[in-house]
Amino acid sequence: MDPFLNLTDVNYSYHSPEGETPALSNISFSVSEGEFIAIVGPSGCGKSTLLNLISGLLLPEFGTIFLKGHSVRDAGTEIGYMLQKDHLFEWRSVYRNVILGLEIQKKCTPEHLARADTLLDTYGLSGFRDSRPSRLSGGMRQRAALIRTLVLEPELLLLDEPFSALDYQTRLSVCDDIGGIIKKEQKTAILVTHDLAEAISIADRILVLSRRPGRIRSIIPIHLEVEDRTPLKSRNAPNFKDYFNRIWKELNYYE
Ligand code: ADP
Ligand code: MG
């Protein structure tokens, strides 16, 4: 059977009048359905470029990217993308922000609209349904942004540093919250973060990239000694720091 997501020998360079910037080199890995992958690596090593390639926004110069056996170029709404900024529009209510993707894709069927309301209800935002986004806390805004992505029923979620605009305390609880929702909705997810502890707390496997041009330095499966694992509980696992030290060394070792 085909893996859920498969990248083989993916290479990418940016071209400008000043010359060529190789961003990624020989990237190959697979992701299973329902898996949560975190990608860590030095700033500028090509993490966002990698997500843009997986989303189909950029095309690899060389190599292939398949989602369920089809090129991601044809994936459309099967892939949801969440960024650091929540991009909620202040002139729309929370509900009308959440259904924006449905409007754009002309999918405002009674079923889809009902699902938007169900998600707002399940994840504690129905009381803010008709409010402006400025009434929401930073964490609630990210939850609304996630719901806006989930109503489109993506098969794969891509998250590019979605918590980095939040202060540390909020960040811990929002990561726990968003991680819980993604798990409950049984989504496959790839999270880019520069926060190593965050990656270990949430991921099933961590991909460590080298400096630009990003190559895969290692892929580390995370098995934490903790019951009913959540991102917050993960941080108390006795072997959490062992992973931290190992990946820290990987990140700080350059040829
Ligand atoms: P990361 O997300 O890991 O910080 P990026 O994927 O954003 O890194 O960028 C990887 C490298 O490619 C960086 O060195 C960046 O300067 C360069 N880069 C990104 N976008 C462009 C672009 N549009 N044109 C030229 N170079 C770019
Ligand atoms: Mg980036």
pLDDT number for residue 78 = 87
Cα 81 to ligand 1 centroid, rounded to whole Å: 18
* Closest residue to atom 4 of ligand 1, CA basis: 44
Look up residue 152 and give its DSSP letter: T
pLDDT tens column, 155-211: 999 999 988 888 888 889 889 989 999 998 899 999 999 899 999 999 999 999 999
The answer to whether residues 140 and 125 touch, using CB atoms and an 8 Å cutoff, is yes
Residue 40 has pLDDT above 70, yes or no: yes
Cα 109 to ligand 1 centroid, rounded to whole Å: 39
**Residue with the two structure tokens 């190992």:** 246
pLDDT number for residue 31 = 97
Mean pLDDT across 138-142: 90
The answer to whether residues 188 and 155 touch, using CB atoms and an 8 Å cutoff, is yes
Mean pLDDT across 40-65: 95
44 lines ligand 1 (CB under 6 A): yes
Cα 20 to ligand 1 centroid, rounded to whole Å: 12
Whole-model pTM? 0.94
Least-confidence region, from 53-62, 69-78, 148-157, 238-247 = 69-78
Mean pLDDT across 199-228: 95
pLDDT tens column, 102-112: 998 899 999 99
pLDDT number for residue 20 = 94
pLDDT number for residue 254 = 57
16 lines ligand 1 (CB under 6 A): yes
The answer to whether residues 146 and 178 touch, using CB atoms and an 8 Å cutoff, is yes
14 lines ligand 1 (CB under 6 A): yes
Which ligand 1 atom sits nearest the alpha carbon of residue 43? 4
Query: Long-range pairs for 165-168 at CB < 8 Å and ≥24 separation?
Result: 165/84, 165/85, 165/138, 166/138, 166/139, 166/142, 167/138
Closest CA to 87 of 77, 73, 76, 101: 101
49 lines ligand 1 (CB under 6 A): yes
pLDDT tens column, 74-109: 876 689 998 888 889 999 999 999 999 999 889 999
124 lines ligand 1 (CB under 6 A): no
